[in-house]
């Protein structure tokens, strides 16, 4: 019998951080199933899901926790919750417009009100090509309830796009 352990980590960005974590997992007989990791502002952060036999899980938990120190933080969750994927349709959302405070707040608020789950979201601010003004972009993979009227979602996103003066697009 096996179990899943999900852990998050953040530390000062430096070579060997992923190796330290993956070595610990492997050394304890864990199987690294999936992860998302990224460098941001001098830090390196990630989330990973590990599968391990029940009899080795406590030792892995202890070893991962022991890695935490001044420059690394590790948090563990056992038996991650899964959602009923048949109740949702996965679609992609993209947003582009002049940067200003509140864009993520407005977008995420509208999605939460419609029971839309954000699976993955990436945001960035760059310089607009012609004006060099700050340009905000976001791309997300979202789970929309199959019972949700897509036209209602498009109408709500159009309202937000008009309020924020951005472009929002959905793709199947």
| pLDDT at residue 87, rounded to an integer | 87
Instruction: Report, as an integer, the average pLDDT of 121-131.
Output: 92
CA angle 70, 72, 67 (to 5 degrees): 95
State which of 78, 95, 126 marks the end of a domain: 78
CA angle 52, 54, 59 (to 5 degrees): 75
Q: Supply the range of the domain harboring residue 12.
A: 2-78
Give the chain's end-to-end CA distance (angstroms, integer): 37
Query: Which CATH number fits the domain that encloses residue 44?
Result: 3.30.70.260
Task: Please tell me whether residues 90 and 167 are part of one structural domain.
Answer: yes
- For 154, other C-beta atoms within 10 Å of its C-beta total 14
Determine the 3-state secondary structure of 138 from DSSP: strand
Task: Please tell me whether residues 41 and 109 are part of one structural domain.
Answer: no
Number of domains the chain contains? 2
List pLDDT tens digits, range 3-47: 999 999 999 999 999 999 999 999 999 999 999 999 999 999 999
Task: Please tell me whether residues 6 and 70 are part of one structural domain.
Answer: yes
**Of the candidates 28, 75, 74, 33, the residue with the CA atom closest to the CA atom of residue 54:** 28
Q: Which residue has the tokens 């990973």?
A: 48
């Amino acid at each position: 019998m096996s179990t899943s352990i999900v852990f998050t980590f953040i530390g000062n960005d430096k070579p060997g951080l992923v190796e330290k974590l993956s070595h610990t997992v492997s050394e304890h007989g864990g199987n690294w199933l999936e992860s998302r990791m990224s460098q941001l502002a001098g830090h390196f952060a990630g989330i990973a899901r590990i599968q391990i036999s029940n009899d080795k899980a406590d030792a892995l938990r202890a070893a991962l926790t022991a890695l935490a120190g001044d420059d690394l933080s590790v948090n563990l969750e056992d038996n991650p919750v899964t959602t009923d994927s048949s109740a949702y349709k996965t679609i992609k959302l993209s947003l582009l417009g002049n940067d200003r405070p509140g864009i993520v707040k407005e977008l995420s608020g509208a999605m939460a009100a419609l029971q839309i789950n954000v699976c993955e979201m990436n945001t960035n601010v760059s310089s607009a090509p012609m004006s060099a003004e700050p340009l905000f972009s976001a791309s997300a993979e979202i789970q929309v309830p199959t019972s949700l009227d897509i036209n209602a979602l498009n109408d709500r996103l159009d309202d937000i796009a008009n309020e924020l003066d951005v472009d929002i697009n959905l793709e199947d």
